[in-house]
Structure 1
Amino acid sequence: MKFVLNRELVEENALAADTTLLRYLREYRRLCGTKEGCASGDCGACTVLLGALEDGRVRYRAVNACITPLAAANRRHLVTIESLSNSGRLHPAQREILEHHGSQCGFCTPGIVMSLAGLYQQLLTDNGPQPDRTQVCEAISGNLCRCTGYRPIIDAGLKIVHTSDESHRLDAQAQIDQLASIGHTETPPGYFQPTNRKELQQALAENPDAHLIAGGTDLMLEVTQRCRPLNTIIDLSRVAELHRIDERDGFIHLGAALSYREMESFFADRSPSIRTLLERIGSRQIRNRGTLGGNIANASPIADLPPLLLALDALVTLADAQGNEYHMPLSDFYRGYKKTALGSAQYLAEIRFPARTLSDFHRAYKVSKRREDDISAVMAAIRLRTGAGKYGEVFTEVRIAFGGMAATPARVAAAESALLGRALEDEDALNTALAAIATTLQPIGDVRASAAYRMQIAQNLLRSAWQSLLQERIGKRAAEVRHA
């Protein structure tokens, strides 16, 4: 495979399929500015930038080098802390960190600088304005600093684009030309990188027991945390059909290889609730790599997106090496703890849900100790539709789903039935639904939350959604009276 490492076009074909970017940089290239802190994508000390050539320009994304396979750099521009300065002049991110005293021990500093450099490049590419505090905090949300404190780091970030000087653009013409010169390349032995579904099917047919990877933000922990080799890997991230995202035939269609970042852009105007949830998943580095399909197929009971998709009546499409497709409700996809309907040489191809559900009242709640880059103690998704009844407004469709409360993400049918057909203001119906949650779910207790806490939170989240809808309707009725 070929890629541009900082300013050099390099070729690597002999390394193991599961070699990480971090190991490659430190052990094989001796570029030790990229640090290893946690080896699990949690601290950000290993942050680097990966740039892909798109329509004649390079779009960069910050990623965690510790859980990103080296082959992800194929035909990409890999940027590390060592190449940021230009002819002895510090990059704006480096300069501002220095001037605002944003570094003490310095171990986390390279990752923080790379995250800010990624924001700098994004603003240059998009002709964006001076960054605000929200943008800076979001850019460094995946970077932990244990001694400096974040105030000087944020101050530095607020100053990184206050000049029209573009001498520190990462996508200089030389790098664009280098990327454009890379044609078809072979990946390391055991690593397959199909670009369409036909190539994917062939790879699956020849390697039915291969590990499927898209973002790898969970799978690569097998390598870094459990020291288990992944000898054969099929990378889904370059399969164009798995990145489709559109609305047609009354459904929202989502390719399984879509990253969280791609989904953020799509749902920005369609659903503030979904956009807010996506912004709570991991860090910016994780959302740049992590995918919808991985979040579902991993079958974790605390995954963030399955409860939301269950509440939206999502359907999944599975495909196999022969091109056959199988369609089923997402609720049938889960067969037990960490078990799914996926068979040998099959993959998750698409998720779709009725577009009309986005017009319903819907809320997604993530409860965790930290706002960014943390695992849910409870994940709840609630969708409520109302209509005219005999004596007023009643619930005509109810979906209540939870993660972290059972062996699999699940809807609570008894709670849904308790509200269905009942008046919006009927608090007795709500209390019946809350009681159904208590009798149906049996949450576990662990280091994140006790079973009792999880149960109380789950019930409180349903009550919160109910109250929010009630307040929304009361406000609407008051407005109608004022304008009558």
Structure 2
Amino acid sequence: MDTKTIRFMRRGELISLGNVPPERTLLELLREDLGATGTKEGCGEGDCGACTVVLAEPDGGRLRWRAVNSCIRLAHSIDGMALWTVEDLAAADGALHPAQEAMVRCHGSQCGFCTPGFVMSLFGMYQNHVCRGEPVTRALAQEELSGNLCRCTGYRPILDAAQQMEQLPPARIDEAALLARLQALAGQPTAPSTLAYLAPESLPELLAARAAHPQAQVVAGCTDVGLWVTKQHRQFGQVLDVTRARELRRIEEYPHHVAIGAAVTLTDAFAALVAQRPSLKTFASRFAGLPVRNAGTLGGNIANGSPIGDSMPLLIALDAQLVLMREGGHRHLALEDFYTGYRQTVLAPDELVAWILVPRPQPAEFLRAYKISKRYDDDISAVCLVLRLELQDGAVARIGVGAGGVAATPVRAARTEAFLAGKPWTAETVRAAADVLRGEFQPITDMRASSAYRSQVLGNLLQRFWLESQGTTGINLEQFSLEEVDA
């Protein structure tokens, strides 16, 4: 089967590459095909950040800049975009970019292996904030450098470098000219849809491709399928990429819900949810590192069906619904009804997840999302529990409980919800409900936690939820902040 020619902008020039297998990663393309060995391979699974690059693509009449992991990004997915690696930042005369110069001045590099990834995340920060006149605060730097690990523990000088970039002579990219070139590239004829990597640009075309090629491997952000390539060495005869369908890249507001397209990145999807429910901000920022959230999609996380995917317990607690589409029809169902077993779903061979419908918050809603993991940042949950409560006259009027990491699929704690419905919201009620919740599931023991630990934590989190509903503070890490003091 033929492969589509990949076309992208790099260093102001158009790069065209043919005969690229559909499962080839962007990191392999850079290091092996283009000789761009400044981009490093560390973990090969999107955890360490050594392979970070920056992509830019047109978005509503401007450029959208995203730092992403090249190790789990399929090479074909950057067709039509602009790419920057660490080799592309210095000026023609050798002058360093502020992201590089700041690292030098602040002594932000020790062994140096992680440095290219940090520099690229700094470059993305520079384009998204410094170039738009926005200050880089310590908190912003810490959030946007997430997903980059330094084994020499040199984080303080790297954070210093992030804040010093704006004090250095500016380095400007002519975004208008680049945008025009990318738009012209998008207007050029594309190859026919019989190729190994299919990336339809409209929803009707996508559904037609799904019907015609049910055997194709469906991909979105590839943050999980990419692991199949790097860790399991899988090869795909044909890939169907949903992220180019323009309809599925939208977030639409309605009176009673927000509709999030399946191809919306996790970064944008969580931003929309946080805008409506600010209490979710910390939970959203703990969903992997920023490069993973910049690439991964909400639809992909749901369709993947992992029992430890953090978005599903949240959406279950919020009573979210899915819209599944095929050529000539669609159907709605509650998110918890989408799963039939471990990584198994109700999707027919010609269906795709198209939209996620999330109800708007109610005025009296009290919501908390808890993620328990060995590391606070950039780690997979041992237990995820999300609770949404509405009270009326001191009794439980509505309760939503979504859980992850405690069963073969993400689940709704239906027995616990039924137990709490209509009961007075008291410490005694919650203690009894905690026992119900602990007994509702039979979690496994694995490398992240034992079965007994998971069960105990479920009940403990419900009790924490009750304490927070009573105004108790200072009982979790979200409410603490570290301040630097001079010695």
Q: TM-score, normalised by structure 2?
A: 0.91
1:208 equivalent in structure 2: 214
Q: Distance in 2 between matches of 1:79 and 1:399?
A: 44
CA distance in 2, matches of 1:114, 1:265: 22
Structure 2 counterpart of 1:434: 434
What secondary structure, in the 3-state scheme, does the structure 2 residue paired with 1:195 have? coil
Cα gap change, 1:119 to 1:467, in 2 (>3 Å): same
Match of 2:182 in 1: 179
Residue identity matched to 1:43: C
The answer for the alignment partner of 2:319 in structure 1 is 313
- SS of structure 2 residue aligned to 1:66: coil
Tell me the residue number matched to 1:231.
Answer: 237
Letter aligned with residue 146 of structure 1? R
Deviation at 1:7, TM superposition (A): 2.6
1:476 is matched with none
Aligned counterpart, 1:156: 161
Are the equivalent residues in 1 in contact too, given 2:55–2:82 (CA < 8 A)? yes
Using the TM superposition, give the Cα deviation of residue 142 of structure 1 relative to its aligned residue in structure 2, in angstroms: 0.8
Once residues 367 and 178 of structure 2 are traced to their aligned partners in structure 1, the CA distance between those partners, rounded to angstroms, is 45
CA distance in 1, matches of 2:395, 2:175: 60
Correspondences of 1:324-339 after superposition (within 5 Å): 324-339=329-344
Partner residue of 1:420?
421
Does 460-469 or 354-363 show the bigger shift? 354-363
Structure 1 distance, partners of 2:66, 2:453, is 37
Cα distance in 1 for partners of 2:452, 2:303 equals 28
C-alpha distance in 2 between matches for 1:249 and 1:55: 24
Contact 1:20–1:70 at 8 Å: present in 2 too? yes
Per-residue deviation, residues 217-255 of structure 1 (Å, max 9, x unmatched): 011111111001122111111112112223314122121
Deviation at residue 185 of structure 1 after TM alignment: 4.8
Q: Give, in whole Å, the separation in 2 of the partners of 1:357 and 1:363.
A: 14
Q: Tell me if 1:404 matches 2:405.
A: yes
1:428 positional shift: 2.6
Residue pair 1:303, 1:403 contacting (<8 A) in 2 also: yes
2:110 partner SS: coil
For 2:447, the equivalent position in structure 1 comes to 447
**Is the 8 Å Cα contact of residues 215 and 291 (structure 1) preserved in structure 2?**
yes
Aligned 8 A contact 2:277 2:361 in 1: no
Query: What secondary structure is seen at the aligned counterpart in 2 of 1:160?
Result: helix
What secondary structure does 2:77 align onto?
helix
**Alpha-carbon distance in 2 for matches of 1:403, 1:148:** 31
Q: Which range is displaced more, 262-271 or 87-96?
A: 262-271
2:380 match: 375
1:21–1:384 distance in 2 versus 1, CA, 3 Å:
same
Deviation at 1:55, TM superposition (A): 4.6
Partner of 1:22: 27
Query: What is the Cα deviation at residue 267 of structure 1?
Result: 2.8
Indicate whether 1:340 and 2:345 are aligned. Answer: yes
Q: Match for residue 475 of structure 2? A: none
Confirm or deny that 1:362 pairs with 2:372: no
User: 1:145, CA displacement in angstroms?
Assistant: 1.0
C-alpha RMSD over aligned residues: 1.8
Q: Deviations over 1:131-175 (max 9, x none)?
A: 111111112211111125211111111101124x43x22445553
Please give the alpha-carbon distance, in whole angstroms, between the structure 1 residues aligned to 2:41 and 2:119: 15
Matches within 5 A, 1:217-296: 217-296=223-302
Corresponding residue for 2:479?
none
Name the structure 2 match of 1:147. 152
Alpha-carbon shift at residue 198 of structure 1 (Å) = 1.0
Change (3 A) 1:294 1:55: closer
The answer (yes or no) to whether the contact 1:296–1:306 under 8 Å persists in 2 is yes
Matching residue's letter, 2:301: N
Q: Distance in 2 between matches of 1:344 and 1:147?
A: 48
Mapped to 2, the partners of 1:369 and 1:399 lie a distance apart of 26
Return the letter of the residue paired with 1:381: V
Distance in 1 separating the partners of 2:340 and 2:259: 24
Identity %: 42
For residues 330 and 92 of structure 1, do their structure 2 counterparts lie closer, same or farther at Cα, with a shift above 3 Å needed?
same
Partner of residue 134, structure 1: 139
What are structure 1's unaligned runs of at least 5 residues? 473-484
Cα shift readout 1:273-330 (whole Å, capped 9, x = no counterpart): 233221111101001011111111111111101111111111111111x231011111
CA distance in 2, matches of 1:82, 1:246: 39
> What CA distance in whole angstroms lies between the structure 1 residues aligned with 2:450 and 2:150?
29
**Pairwise CA distance, 1:58:** 2.3
CA 1:125/1:235 → structure 2, altered by over 3 Å: closer, same or farther? Answer: farther
Equivalent residue letter for 1:272 = P
Q: Secondary structure at the match of 1:396?
A: strand
Q: What is the CA-CA distance between 1:332 and the residue it aligns to?
A: 1.1
Deviation sequence 1:186-221 (CA, Å, 0-9, x none)? 369311111111110221122111111111101111
Q: Which of the numbers 40, 59, 66 marks the counterpart of 1:61?
A: 66
For residues 462-477 of structure 1, what are the structure 2 equivalents within 5 Å?
Answer: 462-471=462-471
Task: Name the amino acid aligned to 1:260.
Answer: L
User: How has the CA–CA distance of structure 1 residues 171 and 148 changed in structure 2, closer, same or farther, with 3 Å as cutoff?
Assistant: farther
Q: CA separation in 1, counterparts of 2:59 and 2:50?
A: 27
Correspondence for 2:457? 457
Distance 1:407 1:83, change over 3 A: same
Counterpart Cα distance in 2 of 1:376 and 1:358:
30
Match of 2:172 in 1: 169
Is the 1:319–1:347 contact (alpha carbons within 8 Å) kept by the matching residues of 2? Answer: yes
CA distance in 1, matches of 2:451, 2:321: 30
C-alpha displacement at 1:264, in angstroms?
A: 3.2
Name structure 2 gaps, 5 residues minimum. Answer: 1-5, 473-487
Distance 1:199 1:12 in 2: 25
Q: Secondary structure at the match of 2:31?
A: helix
User: What is the distance in 2 between the residues matched to 1:29 and 1:272?
Assistant: 43
Report SS of the residue matched to 1:78: strand
| 1:190 paired residue number | 196
Aligned residue runs from structure 1 range 92-103, under 5 A: 92-103=98-109
Please state whether the residue corresponding to 2:389 is helix, strand or coil: strand
On the 8 A contact 1:311/1:383 being kept in 2, the answer is yes
CA distance in 1, matches of 2:60, 2:257: 29
Cα 1:381–1:138 shift into 2, 3 Å: same
Give the length in aligned residue pairs: 463
CA deviations on 1:305-363 (whole Å, 9 max, x unpaired) are 1111111111111111x231011111211101111111102110111132245751111
Change (3 A) 1:121 1:108: same
Instruction: Give the AA of the match of 1:454.
Output: R
